[in-house]
Amino acid sequence: MNVYDWDKTIYDGDSTFGFIRYLFCHYPKTLLNLPRIIFFGIGYGLQLVSKQSFKENLFHLFVYVKDMPLATKRFCESHLDHVKSFYQQKEDDVIISASPEFLIQEFGRLLHIQCIIASPVEQKTGHYMGLNCHGEEKVKRFYKRFPKGEIHEFYSDSLSDTLLAQLAKKAFLVKKEKVFDWPK
């Protein structure tokens, strides 16, 4: 199986922040969450608030959207052009991402990707239902899903995914549309 990070790897940009911008533009009531975002953003910048706590408070704006599944579907459909041309989907591909699982699952549905591992965020409230799927947590979640899983090829834009890269027979670093061997 091949395993891919999502944001800046397959998807050109950060899909989570693209989705937040989309919600601000299409659902103006979400702007009511700006003071909370600023407050917790400053706390995160000063290292007083964890990344997960900041993201959960950012995602609180979901409560202002009446039909989040529809908003998610519309965003994903309108942003399929962000999928990079190097990506050639195979049946057993696995996407593993720190972005909200419901968001990546919708992209996966549209792209016919069966296996998505991502951050468990409640779509209607923005609350985390587990840990942010980043760094070491990606490895734990991968092995929970595939106890004997072998990664043939791994692709990511970030060296923070080195732990997953080390599990793969071949690993690649993705920068824009270019794919390089993972640095040794």
On the question of pLDDT at 89 being above 90, the answer is no
- Strand ranges across the sheet with 151-156: 115-119, 94-100, 2-4, 151-156, 168-175, 178-181
Residue that is last in its domain, among 75, 102, 119? 75
Q: How many domains does the chain have?
A: 2
DSSP per-residue letters across 82-125: GB-TT----TT-EEEEEEEHHHHHHHHHHHT--EEEEE-B-TTT
65 and 86 share one domain? no
For residues 174-178, average pLDDT: 94
pLDDT at position 137: 95
64 and 106 share one domain? no
121 and 93 share one domain? yes
Residue 55 belongs to domain spanning: 17-75
Q: pTM for this structure?
A: 0.93
68 and 122 share one domain? no
Q: Quick one: CA dihedral 45, 46, 52, 58, positive or negative?
A: negative
93 and 136 share one domain? yes
38 and 106 share one domain? no
Task: State the CATH number of the domain containing residue 7.
Answer: 3.40.50.1000
115 and 175 share one domain? yes
All residues at 6 or more sequence positions from 39 whose CB lies less than 8 Å from its CB, including other chains: 57
On the question of pLDDT at 60 being above 90, the answer is yes
* C-beta separation of 138 from 146 below 8 A: no
Q: List pLDDT tens digits, range 134-143.
A: 999 999 999 9
103 and 154 share one domain? yes
